[in-house]
């Protein structure tokens, strides 16, 4: 069993109920394959660095779970064909820590420091 996390980007005009449907589908796929669901970390609506399909914003979610590799393959296949999903990326979760939501604005750097 491997530890994974998926960064999920959903189109900005998709209803909040649809967000939950997409996440529940991922969760059920993981649990049916014998994996365990750790949770979802909603990062909210954020501005994109560049437009994707004429969208300047997206809803961000980080999904964390333990699953066999076959379950991850099925989840990525389903997300690739799901309406409303802009992008997704699955990675092995780092040991000893997780991701945290980025700050809304970076801290200024002092000159000469």
Q: Any idea what the CATH number is for the domain that residue 51 is in?
A: 3.30.70.60
Identify whether 58 is part of a domain. Answer: yes
Separation of alpha carbons 91 and 98, rounded Å? 12
Spatial CB neighbours of 88, under 8 Å, sequence gap ≥ 6: 6, 7, 8, 9, 76, 79, 80
Two structure tokens written together for 34: 């014998």
Alpha helices (H) along the chain:
16-32, 69-81
Identify whether 98 is part of a domain. Answer: no
Phi, psi of 84 (to 5 degrees): 100, -20
Which of 60, 69, 56 lies closest to 30, judged by CA? 69
Identify whether 22 is part of a domain. Answer: yes
Identify whether 110 is part of a domain. Answer: no
Separation of alpha carbons 77 and 72, rounded Å? 8
Identify whether 76 is part of a domain. Answer: yes
Identify whether 80 is part of a domain. Answer: yes
Count of domains forming the chain: 1
Q: What is the pTM of this model?
A: 0.80
Identify whether 113 is part of a domain. Answer: no
Q: What is the pLDDT along the chain (113 residues), one digit of tens a residue?
A: 899 999 999 999 999 999 999 999 999 999 999 999 999 999 999 999 999 999 999 999 999 999 999 999 999 999 999 999 999 999 998 776 555 666 665 555 565 54
- Assign 13 to helix, strand or coil: coil
Question: Which residues constitute the domain of residue 50?
Answer: 2-92
């Amino acid at each position: 069993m491997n530890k994974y996390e998926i960064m999920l980007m959903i189109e900005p005009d998709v209803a909040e109920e649809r967000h939950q449907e997409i996440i529940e589908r991922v969760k059920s796929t993981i649990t049916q394959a014998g994996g365990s669901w750790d949770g979802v970390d909603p990062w909210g609506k954020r501005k994109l660095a560049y437009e994707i399909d004429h969208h300047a914003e997206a809803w961000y979610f980080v999904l964390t779970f333990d699953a066999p590799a076959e379950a991850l393959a099925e989840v990525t296949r389903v997300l690739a064909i799901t309406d409303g999903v802009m992008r997704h990326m699955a990675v092995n979760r780092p040991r000893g820590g997780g991701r945290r939501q980025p700050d809304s604005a970076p801290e200024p750097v002092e000159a000469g420091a």
